[in-house]
């Protein structure tokens, strides 16, 4: 029996176009309704972009205290990028703003470049990110066309490998295992630059957080179905 006030740690497969906050808000509303409560602590460990899907860990009640610890879990992603073009957001949120030559890009070149990203890396986060600047999110400035200066951060890429490369479409799919704070959109940008071209993310799936794999996650629909058919413990 679930006890959401004492605390639960749940793993969800976040839907496309939802923000991580959308997921938390949906869960909080349904849990409060089910429990007959006005308030319940619900939070997530590790933001996932709206244009990404996959593992989001959600904590409730007293187990929200675990969020800071859980954020440091290693994460695994499968990312597909379009080579030869860039966007201001480094993904499909914004339109292509520049195109670059790709005739020189071969599988051999990719196999030389991709391993250079393994290990410690300095990465400049995207302007379209949730990083706080003077009390505001960086994306709030970026969406108004205002320039923001973000300092490079040290991160660790434990594993990176090519899963597929289509030379005709110039689409590259990679698997990445990395530390907290890694922006896969920024990694796509950096891969494009190191290939002496450009790149932006066209698909992203978080396949693992710590030991939790995406195939073990609940969908929001499945969870709400189980919630509606279950009895819950309440501290009142």
Alpha carbons 172 and 105: distance in angstroms, whole number: 11
* Residue 49 known to be catalytic: yes
Long-range (24+ apart) CB contacts under 8 A made by 132-139 are none
**β partners of residue 49:** none
Structure tokens at 163: 């899963």
Contact indicator for 8, 2 with CB cutoff of 8 Å: yes
H-run or E-run covering 13: strand 9-14
Out of 49, 68, 158, 190, the active site residue is: 49
Give the contacts of 134 (CB within 8 A, at least 6 positions apart). none
Give the contacts of 102 (CB within 8 A, at least 6 positions apart). 83, 84, 170, 197
Please, what is the end-to-end C-alpha distance for the chain in angstroms? 16
User: SS3 of 32, please?
Assistant: helix
Contact indicator for 83, 171 with CB cutoff of 8 Å: yes
**Catalytically active residues, by annotation:** 49
């Amino acid at each position: 029996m679930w006890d959401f006030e004492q605390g639960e740690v749940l793993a969800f497969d976040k839907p496309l176009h939802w923000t991580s906050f959308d997921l938390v808000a949906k869960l909080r509303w349904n849990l409060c309704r089910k429990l007959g409560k006005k308030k319940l602590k619900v939070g997530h460990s590790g933001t996932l972009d709206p244009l990404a899907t996959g593992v989001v860990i959600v904590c409730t009640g007293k187990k929200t205290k675990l969020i800071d610890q859980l954020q440091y879990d290693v994460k695994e992603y499968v990312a597909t990028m379009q080579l030869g073009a860039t966007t201001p957001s480094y993904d499909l949120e914004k339109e292509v703003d520049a195109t670059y030559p790709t005739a020189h890009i071969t599988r051999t070149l990719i196999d030389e470049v991709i391993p250079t990203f393994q290990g410690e890396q300095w990465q400049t986060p995207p302007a379209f990110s949730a990083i706080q600047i003077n009390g505001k999110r960086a994306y709030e400035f970026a969406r108004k066309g205002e320039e923001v200066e973000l300092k490079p951060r040290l991160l660790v890429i434990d594993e990176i490998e090519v899963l597929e490369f289509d030379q005709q479409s110039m689409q590259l799919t990679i698997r990445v295992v990395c530390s907290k704070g890694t922006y896969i959109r920024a990694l796509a940008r950096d891969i494009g630059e190191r290939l002496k071209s450009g790149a932006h993310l066209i698909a992203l799936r978080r396949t693992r957080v710590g030991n939790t794999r995406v195939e073990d996650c609940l969908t929001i629909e499945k969870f709400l179905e189980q919630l509606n058919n279950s009895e819950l413990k309440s501290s009142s």
